[in-house]
Structure 1
Amino acid sequence: MVATLAVVLLLRGYQLLRTDADVGLSADEVLYLNKSARERAGSQSALMALSYKLVPKLRSALPRNAVRWLQQQVDMAGRPKGLDVDSVLAKFVMWGLVLTPIFVIGVLRGELLYIVLPVVIVGILPLAQLSGMARKRREAIDRDLPDFLDVLAVTVSAGLGFRSALSTVADRFGGAISDEITTVLHQITNGASVRSAFAAMRDRTRSEPVNEFVTAYLQAEELGAPLADTLNQIAADIRRGTAQRMRQRASKIEPRISLVMTMVLIPGALVILVGGMVLAMGADQLGGMFGG
C-alpha cells in the first residue's frame, strides 16, 4: 500500500509539474496576475505558500544592505523564471521551516551538530543555488560576447547606427548577452547616459570580458575611433584574454591532477607489488594447502 501510494503521488506530482500554471484560475485572475504570480499560483506547494506569507516579516527584519545585496545577486543570475528577492527569501523560510525540528531536537539534547547544521544549511542552500545560476550566466556571456561583437561589427559596417545595430543583433542573437544589451538599450531610452548604462551592465555581470568591452568601447567613443574596427579589435582582445585565462586555469589544475593521481595510483601500485611479493614468497605453502 505504501509503495502504491508513493507511485500515485509521484505520478500526480509529475502531472502537476507539466500542467500549465493558468489551469484552475478564472479569467479575471489570469488577467490581473503577472507571469511570475501565475507561475507561483499554479506550482506552489502548501509549504512554499506559507513561506511566501512569512516573507514580508523576514524582509522587514533584514537590513537594507542585505536586501540590496540579494537584489544584486538576483540581477547577476538574470532573474530566471521571474526570480526576485521575495523568491530567495521564501526559500530561506522554507528551509527554515523544514529544518526547525532538527534544530529544536539539537537544543533540547544539547548537541551542537544538530544546532549548527540546520543554520548552515538554511544559509547556504538558497545562496548556493543563486550563485550557481549567476556563474552559469556569466560563463554564457563570456562565451557569446566575442561572436556577438563580430556580428555587431558587420551590422555597423552595413550602415546602421550603433543603437539600431545593437537592437537588431540582440533580437537575432539571443541568450544572456542579448538580455543584457536589451536592458542597456531600455535604460538609454528611459534617459540614462550611455556610460552609466554600460557601467551598470558591467556591474551586473561581473564579467571580465564585459569589463574589457565596456572600457574599450567607452574609450573609443570618447576618442572618436572607427566603431567597426574598434568592435573587431575588442572581440580579438577578449578571445586572447579568454585563451590566456584558460591557460592559467589549466596550469592550476595540473598540480591538482598530479596530486590526485599520486594519492590514488601509488598506493594501488604498492598494494599490487607487495601482494605479488607475498604471493611469490609463499607459493610453495599455498601449493601444499591446495594439494599441489
Structure 2
Amino acid sequence: MTALMLGLGIAFISLAVLLLVLVLAFGLGTSGPTGVARSLAMIDGTVGRQSVARNELPAQERFVGPALDLTRRMAVRLSPTGTAERLARSLDRAGNPAPWTVDRIMGVKGLSLLLGAALGLLYAGLDLGGLVLAIILGAAGFMMPDLLLYNAALRRQEQTAKDLADTLDVLSVCVEAGQGFDSALLRVARTGEGPMAAEFARVLSEMQLGKSRSQAFSDLGDRVSLPEVKNFVSSIVQADRLGIPIAKVLREQTSAMRVTRRQKGEEKAQKVTVKILFPLLFCIFPALFVVIIGPGIVRMMANLFGTGSVFGG
C-alpha cells in the first residue's frame, strides 16, 4: 500500500512538471499582436492586470504566473547577490530564448527546489536519510536551470565559432563591392542564418536606438566570449576610432579567421588519436582478442587436458 501511494505521488508530481514545462515552452494562451501592431496597441493604451477580470486572463497568467511568482521570491532570497545580473549575461550568451526571462528562470529554480525536496521525502521517508536526500535533490533541482542555461550558451558559442568565418566572408564581399558597412551588416543580418546573423541584427538595432558603433560592437564582444569575436570587435572599434578603412580591416580579419579555423581543425584531428584510445582498449580490442585468440586457447586447453576436439568430437 505504501509503495502504491509512493508511485502515485511520483506520477502526479511528474505529470505536474510536464504540464508546467509545456505551458512555459509553448506559451499557452499568450498569442497576440506582434511587431508594428503591438507597438500601436501600446501607444493607444495599456491595460493592467488589475483592470481585467481574472477569468479573462490567459491560462499562463491565471495559474502558472502566480505559482512562479511565489517560487521566484523564494529563489531570490536563497540566491547570492548578483544572481540576476549573472543570469542576464548567461541569457545574452545563450541568445535570449523567446520564452525565458530572468524572473522566469528564478521561478523555475524555486519550483525545482521544492519538487526535488518533495521527491526526496517521498522516496526515503520522513527520517534523517530522507531529509539528507531531500536536501541533495533540492540543491540539484535549484542548480539545474543554471546548468541548462550554461549548456545552451556553450552550444551557441560553438555554433558562433563555426559561423564566424563564413559570415565575415559575406560581410567583406559586401563592403568590397561598394556597400556601406551598416548596409553590409543589414544584408548579413537579413540573409544570414545562425548566431552571428542574430548578433549583427542586435548590433544594428542598438545603433538605431542611439548607441554608437563602437559601443554596440563592444557590447557584442561582452556577449560572445570567443577570442576570435573579441579580436574582430577590437579591430572594428579601433578602425572606427582611428578612421581606418573598414574594407581593409575586414580583409585582414577574414584571412586571420581562415587560418584560425584551419588550425582548430588540425588541433581536433590531432586529438582524435588520444580520444579513440580508450574505446579501442575497452571495447574493440577485447572483442578482437576473443575472436582471434579464443579458438586457439580452446584448442590448446583441449590438447593439454586430453578432452578431444570441442568442434567436432
TM over 0.5: yes
- Per-residue displacement from partner, 1:188-240 (whole Å, max 9, x unpaired)? 33333322221111111112221121122223334433322321221221121
State the match for 1:285 in structure 2: 307
Flag structure 1 segments of 5+ consecutive residues without an equivalent. 1-8, 34-39
Residue 71 (structure 1) shift: 0.9
Specify which of 187, 206, 209 is matched with residue 168 of structure 1.
Answer: 187
Structure 2 distance, partners of 1:99, 1:206, is 33
User: Which residue of 111, 117, 124 maps to 1:94?
Assistant: 111
1:1-292 equivalences under 5 Å are 21-22=28-29, 41=58, 50-59=67-76, 61-104=78-121, 108-111=126-129, 114-115=133-134, 117-272=136-291, 275-280=294-299, 281-282=301-302, 285=307, 287=309, 292=313
Task: Provide closer, same or farther for how the CA distance between residues 146 and 44 of structure 1 changes in structure 2, counting only shifts above 3 A.
Answer: farther
After superposition, the Cα gap between the structure-2 partners of 1:286 and 1:67, relative to the gap in structure 1 and judged at 3 Å, is farther
Structure 1, 51-60 or 257-266: larger mean CA deviation = 51-60
Residues 269 and 124 (structure 1 numbering): CA distance in 2 closer, same or farther, change over 3 Å? farther
Q: Deviation at 1:148?
A: 2.0
**Structure 1 range deviating more: 245-254 or 126-135:** 245-254
Deviating more after overlay: 255-264 vs 111-120: 111-120
Query: Structure 1 277/109 Cα, relative in aligned 2: closer, same or farther at 3 Å?
Result: farther
Structure 1 residue 118 displacement after superposition: 0.4
- TM-score, normalised relative to structure 1: 0.75
Q: Give SS of 2:28's match.
A: coil
CA distance 1:47–1:224, change in 2 (3 Å): closer
Asked if structure 2 preserves the Cα contact closer than 8 Å seen for 1:212 and 1:238, the reply is no
Residue 49 of structure 1, CA deviation:
5.9
Match of 1:36 in 2: none
Q: CA deviation at 1:41?
A: 4.8
SS in 2 for 1:147: helix
Conservation of the 8 A alpha-carbon contact between 1:166 and 1:181: yes
C-alpha contact (below 8 Å) 2:94/2:152 kept by paired residues: yes
Q: Which moved more, 1:220-229 or 1:147-156?
A: 220-229
> Could you tell me how far apart the structure 2 residues matched to 1:142 and 1:24 are?
34
Q: TM-score, normalised by structure 2?
A: 0.71
String of CA shifts for 1:154-204, please: whole Å, max 9, x gaps.
Answer: 322343322233223312224321221222223233333322221111111
Separation in 2 of the partners of 1:94 and 1:46? 14
Relative to structure 1, the CA distance from residue 19 to residue 250 in structure 2 (aligned partners, 3 Å threshold; closer, same or farther) is closer
User: Is the contact made by 1:48 and 1:94 (CA closer than 8 Å) also made in structure 2?
Assistant: no
Shift of 1:72: 0.7
Query: 1:249-278: CA deviations, max 9, x gaps?
Result: 333342121122122233334444664344
- 1:269–1:45: structure 2 CA closer, same or farther, 3 Å change rule? farther
Secondary structure of the 1:285 match is coil
CA contact (8 A) 1:77 1:135 kept: yes
Amino acid at match of 2:28: A
- The answer (yes or no) to whether the contact 1:149–1:235 under 8 Å persists in 2 is yes
Contact 2:113-2:142 at 8 Å conserved across structures = no
CA distance in 2 between partners of 1:236 and 1:200 (Å):
24
* Structural RMSD (CA): 3.9
Higher helix share: 1
Q: What number of residue pairs does the alignment pair up?
A: 271
Corresponding letter in the other structure for 1:179: A
Counterparts of 2:312 and 2:281 in 1: how far apart (Å)? 41
* 8 Å Cα contact 1:21/1:42 also seen in 2: yes
> Which ranges in structure 2 are unaligned for 5 or more consecutive residues?
1-14, 33-37, 48-56
State the partner residue of 1:6: none
